Amino acid sequence: MIFTLGINHHSAPLAIRERVAFGGEKLPHALADLMRSQPVKEVAILSTCNRTEIYCAAETPEAVVDWLSRYHQVAHGELAPYLYTHDQPAAIRHAFRVASGLDSMVIGEPQILGQMKDAVRAAEQSGTLGAQLHKLFQRSFSVAKEVRSTTAIGANIVSMAAAAVHLAERIFESIEEQHIIFIGAGEMIELCAAHFCARQPKGVTIANRTLERGRGLAERYQGTAIRLDDLAEHLARHDIVVSCTAAPLPIIGLGMVERAVKARRHRPMFMVDLAVPRDIEQEVGDLDDVFLYTVDDLAQVVESGLESRQAAVIEAEAIINHRVEDFLGWLSARDTVPVIRSLRDSAERMRRHELEHAMKLLARGEAPEKVVEQLSQRLTNKFLHAPTQTLNLAEGGDRSALQLAASRLFHLHPGD
């Protein structure tokens, strides 16, 4: 069966989510370790700032839960209250809702679809994606496209980046007068840079481990690029700090920010940490002159646009329910494939055997008409022998069920 298990922003706080997150570089090892150590036939892992989910084809999900706890060294009892598990058909519906943006912090946001495609690509490259999950994700992408093209789910969307700008404008009268530093150069930072730079800030800096990639983004907004290792000496010059890297541990500590605040003579500093695990130590938020927001803090801002999208959500859920039934039909059809194949193989063996017998009779000079008549009779008798015998030997409820099945399989009308 297909199972989905994990935690997300609905079920778990950031402090728990960051402990079970998978960085991009960890995924191949994690996928291989799960396949090797647990009884799963297929698996893909989706890990974002808002969720860590494992999609798998397995007998039961319990072993996967144990693996997740052990892999991240989080006690099972500590993780269990926040964990959800879906089996068919709930797992299928969940995948469709996630891909369509219905399960996101920002309803209808399109970024999750790209993140899901990255997760599928990683599973394909690791050799852990089989026929069932491949079909599930391809259907998920198709459903997401249908939802986005036939409903207003993406209209007037409030993104994380837009929410960050909104919060910054509560602290500063005008972003035009501020210096901004973006830490990282991934997709989320690119989105934030586009939103903040639309306000034409006084200065823009990109801090990244790879200076070349940082320069590419900085040039787009007439900014400068620095190495992440040099962040401490540049931090004090910036009023707004937006960070989103894949670092496993915080890269901005309390001491670094305390020194920056002192150098700024206690002018306010606005900081947004969009990373999971967090890039900025939690204690930084306790400083008097620092306004620190995490992904969970942005939730209240993005919630404001939810009501206007409720009608679209209802339409999208109807589409998803219909597509779930379609997918369940596909899964059921897969269950019958071995039986159909066996039935055809059996019929083919009978056909070949009777054909060889008929050819021998013709070679001995038997009349063709007689041989063809005998061939048709022998084939009919062989094809019908097993079902006829089974019907004759059946008793009680089994006989009624078999009679009904035979009528449906062979389009019979016994009463006519």
* Catalytic-labelled residue, pool 49, 56, 192, 244: 49
The four Cα atoms 212, 214, 217, 219 give a dihedral, to 10 degrees, of -70
Helix, strand, coil share (%) of the chain residues, nearest 5 = 60, 15, 30
- Tell me the HSE value of 130 on the side-chain side, using a 13 A CA sphere: 12
182's tokens? 């973006």
12's tokens? 């778990």
Question: What is d(CA 54, CA 97) in angstroms, rounded to the nearest whole number?
Answer: 15
Question: What is d(CA 377, CA 291) in angstroms, rounded to the nearest whole number?
Answer: 88
Q: Which amino acid is at 180?
A: I
CB-based contact 202:177 (threshold 8 Å)? yes
Annotated active-site residue 49? The verdict is yes
CB-based contact 31:47 (threshold 8 Å)? no
Closest CA to 241 of 276, 269, 203, 208: 269
DSSP string, 30-47: HHHHHHHHS-EEEEEEEE
CB-based contact 50:309 (threshold 8 Å)? no
CB-based contact 195:159 (threshold 8 Å)? yes
CB atoms within 10 A of CB 328: 14
Question: What is d(CA 281, CA 296) in angstroms, rounded to the nearest whole number?
Answer: 15
What Rg, from alpha-carbon coordinates, does the chain have? 31
210's tokens? 């790879």
Question: What is d(CA 268, CA 289) in angstroms, rounded to the nearest whole number?
Answer: 5
For tokens 């010059």, what's the residue? 237
Question: What is d(CA 375, CA 26) in angstroms, rounded to the nearest whole number?
Answer: 64
Which spans in 84-209 are helix H?
A: 90-99, 111-126, 131-150, 160-171, 187-197
Active-site amino acid positions: 49
